[in-house]
Structure formats: structure tokens, C-alpha cells
Amino acid sequence: MADIAFLLLIFFLAATTMDSDTGLMRQLPAIPDPNVPQDVNKINDRNILEVKVNKDNLLLVEGQLTEFNQLREIAHDFILNENDEPNMPEKEVVNIPFFGNVAVTKAVISLQNDIGTKYGVYIAVQNELIAARAQLRDNLSRQEFGIPYEKLDEDRRGAIDDFFKVPISEAEPKRIGGDQ
């Protein structure tokens, strides 16, 4: 009996893996339909935080060479725009459940990379941007509901997401095509 059980045990040890996969969830934009006229309403320049990573893995934020470890703070301050500065994102009053009429930021983060950028750096940069947004959402959740964002129910989480929408968009690549 024990022999059979050992046999099965060894089989399962060999044929299975224990690691659970973790990763950054992203939604790709759909390919624009050429027959549908494109949205001509350009996003106001002050609302966009432009992040570029070049082939030498150097970081350019709003045209300024930036150290990687400053990125999170820059993104944080940009989204929040505490003092309503004119070169930082606009705010728009909208009605959100649980919050009522509140001024919500219209910030958008645009991430661009070069063909030669390393994937690891690209992910690290994206991670910082997501982290800055997640931090703001979590702070708001604690302040408003007294519990961390992770533990919120779906409705409340949706409300917080509406408050700090901040889409992180990936710019259309300059070179489109299948060949390498």
C-alpha cells in the first residue's frame, strides 16, 4: 500500500509545478478602425506625463533626463497636483458614487519606448507608474473607507478607480510590421 502511495507521490512531484504566476495586468488598445473617423479631441498637453525610455535605457520624463528612483514620486505629484498649478493636470468635477461631486484629475501617463530598450527596464518603469497610481488609490481608500484598497468590495473599488482613473497609455509604436 505504502509503495503505491509513494509511487503516486513521486509522480505528482515530477509532473506538477507549485509556482503561481504573478504579473502586471494590462489592457491593450484595440486596433483603430480606418473607416471610423479618429477622435480629433487631442488631450491637453498639460494633462499628459510623457515618459520615454531610450535604447540606452535612459529615462526622459517631460523632456528631462530623470533618475529611475525619482519616477514614482514625480508620477505621484503629477497625478495629485495638490496646488493646482497651471502646468500640471486639470481637474474636472464629476459625480462619483460614495464621493458625490468631486474634482477629479484628468491626468494621463504616456509611456514610449525604443526598439532597443530592454524589456526589464520597460517593465520596471511601468511598474513604478502603476505603483504611483496604486499608492494614491490606496491612500484615498484608507482615508475614505478606512480599509486598504485591496479589501474593498467591487462598487467601492470602482468609485476609487473613477477618482484616480489615470490611464497609462502605450504610444503606438513608430514601426509597425511583422518582419524583424
Partner 1 sequence: MAKFIKTGGKSVKALNTSSLPDIVFMILFFFMAVTTMRETEVMVTVRIPDATEGKVLEKKNLASFIYIGEPLEAFQALYGSEPKIQLNDSFKEIADIQDFIAQEREQLSEADKTKMLVVLKIDRDTKMGVVTDVKQALRRASALKIMYANSNVDKITTLY
- Point out which residues bind partner 1 (CB under 8 A): 1-2, 4-6, 8-9, 12-13, 15-18, 20-31, 57, 68, 113-124, 126-128, 130-131, 134, 170, 173, 175-180
3-state secondary structure 62-113: CCEEECHHHHHHHHHHHHHCCCCCCCCCCEEEEEECCCEEEEEECCEEEEEE
Report, in Å, the least distance between residue 14 CB and partner 1.
Answer: 9
Report in angstroms how near the CB of residue 108 gets to partner 1 at its nearest: 19
Task: Give whichever of 64 and 95 is closer to partner 1, judged by the CB atom.
Answer: 64
Other beta carbons within 10 Å of 50: 16
Q: Which three cell numbers stand for residue 131?
A: 505603483
Beta carbon nearer to partner 1, 107 or 130: 130
Nearer to partner 1 among residue 50 and residue 90 (C-beta): 50
Beta carbon of residue 60, minimum distance to partner 1 (angstroms, whole number): 14
Count of other CB atoms within 10 angstroms of residue 177: 6
Closer to partner 1 at the Cβ: 11 or 85? 11
Residue 150, sorted as left (phi over 0), alpha (psi -120 to 50) or beta, turns out to be: alpha
62 vs 150 by CB, closer to partner 1: 150
Measured from the CB of residue 174, what is the shortest distance to partner 1 in angstroms?
Answer: 9
Minimum distance, C-beta of residue 123 to partner 1, in the bound complex (Å): 4
The C-alpha torsion from 175 through 178 and 23 to 64, rounded to 10°, is -10
d(CA 34, CA 167): 23
| Choice between 47 and 139, CB closer to partner 1 | 139
Q: Give the shortest CB-84-to-partner 1 separation in angstroms.
A: 28
In whole angstroms, give the CA distance from residue 64 to residue 114: 17
